[in-house]
Amino acid sequence: MAEASERRSGILGGARPTGEDDTVTPFELFFDLVYVFAATQVTGYMVHAHDALGVLQGLLVLALLWWTWSAYAWLGNQARADTGVVRAAMAAAMAALFVVALTIPEAWDDAEGGLYGPLVLVGAYLLVRCVHLTVYALAARGDAGLRRQLAISWIPLAAGAVLLVAGVLLGGQLQTAFFAGALVVDWGGTYLTSRGGNWRIHSAPHWTERHGLFIILAIGESVVAIGVGAAEQPVSAPLLAAAVLGVAAAVCLWWLYFDVVSRAAEHRLRDARGQARVRMAIEAYTYGHFPIVAGIIVGAVGVEGVLAHAGDGEALGLFYAAALYGGFALYLAGHLLFKQRVHAVLNVPRLVAVGALLLALPVAAFLPPLVGLAGLVLLLGVLIGAETRRYAAIGAGLRPD
């Protein structure tokens, strides 16, 4: 067994295969730092654009970033990220991803002088994807089914790449449409070509922890938004109250995911075997977690707006109300999809909360920013209280001794 492992490690350029009990490596945490900066750039772009189109464009860029992160999460579950060629590939990807993050402000409107920003972004993004598939194929040596799956995966990537390049060359509104089309082709094509069941999930603990850490990264962006929104405001009682409420909202986001939901999902993924585990990983995590992450980022735009206008006496306004309440509604809707896929049940309290947030959204637009944020935190607090009572026994059984 040891000799076989050594032979496979040599084939992988010194990388070690991921085992059933392996968890996230420190290098993967380091890798994620690039996404911290990228998330801040996406949020900043949405705030600066201050309209529905800007939010849509920000979400399209976020989707590109999520797709790259998911790709390397799969790679890290095949071979340890801190060893051999995998580490070298992820280091190279970090550099390219930082280029992507730097060009986000120019993703849709190139600044005068210098390189053409949209094309630089797409080029760096495609480099990240190509490096991933190339190294993944090396990590899949000896697994004919996985190598066949990876070869097929070049097809949706290539088709999406054509649309992305066409979009940046055409520019304007067509760029937005072509980017959306590229994501539909790439995401949809990857999903359809994955029906054959040739992907592998070697470690359930690594997989669930990896996604949990990205959720923390996204929640961290909502905390950063508090500081960004307050940066140019004089210290005042309304500002401090808004900051405390913003932190409370971030705590609610954490609680709703990590208190019971993530633990229960990890147990279910651990118990699943073969293709049942792979399908759950694809549908509940790779695809199912994007609405959760997107909701956090959009909600952070709303939180930043509240802090920026906490003491000016004006109403919150439709844009920030939609970002705040709509973002948190999207976050909870993502939870509904996640839980339905993992446990095949509908979470009624969260469904009611989604409806309440959407109903309250137009009202919040006319409220003072501080009141609007307080109402959101109150609603989330009621939801957490109701679920804590309802799932007390389940939660106690899932927590470590």
The secondary structure of residue 24, as a DSSP letter, is: -
Chain centroid to Cα 340, Å, comes to 19
Residue 97: alpha-carbon gap to chain centroid? 15
Q: What is the pLDDT of residue 18?
A: 86
Confidence (pLDDT) at 2: 41
∠ CA 352-221-251, rounded to 5°:
50
| 314-331: pLDDT as tens digits | 899 999 999 999 999 999
State the pLDDT at residue 289: 96
Alpha carbons 279 and 264: distance in angstroms, whole number? 17
pLDDT for the residue numbered 12 = 52
List, for the chain, all residue ranges whose pLDDT scores fall below the cut of 50.
1-11, 401
Interacting residues of 365 by C-beta distance below 8 A, sequence separation 6+: 315, 316, 317, 318, 321, 322
Whether the CB-CB separation of 222 and 303 falls below 8 Å is answered with yes
Each residue of 250-268: pLDDT tens digit?
A: 999 999 999 888 899 999 9
pTM above 0.85, yes or no: yes
Indicate the domain borders of the chain.
11-200, 202-401
Chain segment 53-100, per-residue pLDDT in tens: 999 999 999 999 999 999 999 999 999 999 889 999 999 999 999 999
Percentage helix, strand, coil for the chain under 3-state DSSP, each rounded to 5: 80, 0, 20
**Measuring CA to CA, which residue among 330, 302, 316 is closest to residue 363?**
316
Our measurement of the distance from residue 386's CA atom to the centroid of its chain's CA atoms, rounded to an integer in Å, reads 27
Residue 82: count other Cβ atoms within 10 Å of its Cβ: 18
Residues 104, 392: Cα–Cα separation, whole Å: 43
Assess contact for 286 and 70: CB atoms under 8 A: yes
Integer Cα distance of 287 and 221 in angstroms: 21
Cα dist from 150 to 18, 144, 287, whole Å = 18, 10, 18
